[in-house]
Amino acid sequence: MITIKTKERIEIVDITEDVQSLVSKSDVKDGVAIVYTPHTTTAIIINEAERGLMDDITSIIQKIVPQNSYKHDRIDNNADAHLRAVILGNSVVVPVTNGKLDLGTWQRIMFVELDGPRSRRVLVKVVK
């Protein structure tokens, strides 16, 4: 498990090294790593962790799902965060080859906070 303390309402955190560290501790040399967030207002994505692109992603998410009046807001006023999480997805599966995450050259595994700041968990299961 990885724990993350986010600082902003919307924030992208590169967790590739944390995931690789858990893969390295497992016995599995060839299989898959399942990276899963158990929260309803966070997401997991794979893409390039270039600062400008990360800003572009947070910007486009807010354009696609603007702050608005949603039905869920009567409960806890964070419907936009849930809807953004639905669009991005809450897990990724990465091949593990020779004990390493088999990512493309520019691919990174990123945790997306959508209703921070909060303390969050990411579960990693390495399966043969």
**Looking at 9-17, 57-65, 70-78, 101-109, which segment touches Zn ion (CB under 5 A)?**
70-78
Beta strand extents in the chain (DSSP E only): 2-5, 11-14, 31-36, 42-47, 91-97, 100-101, 108-113, 119-127
Contact code string over 25-64 relative to Zn ion, x by CB under 5 A: ----------------------------------------
**Backbone dihedral angles phi then psi of residue 58, each to the nearest 5 degrees:** -65, -35
Subset of 71-100 contacting Zn ion (CB under 5 A): 76, 78
Quick one: 76 or 102, whose CB is closer to Zn ion?
Answer: 76
- Segment interacting with Zn ion, rule: CB under 5 A, options 53-61, 68-76, 98-106, 118-126: 68-76
Name the residue type at position 82.
Answer: H
Strand 119-127, strand 42-47: pairing:
unpaired
Total number of residues binding Zn ion (CB under 5 A)? 2
The neighbour count for residue 10, using CB atoms within 10 Å, is 18
Contacts with Zn ion, residue ranges (CB under 5 A):
76, 78
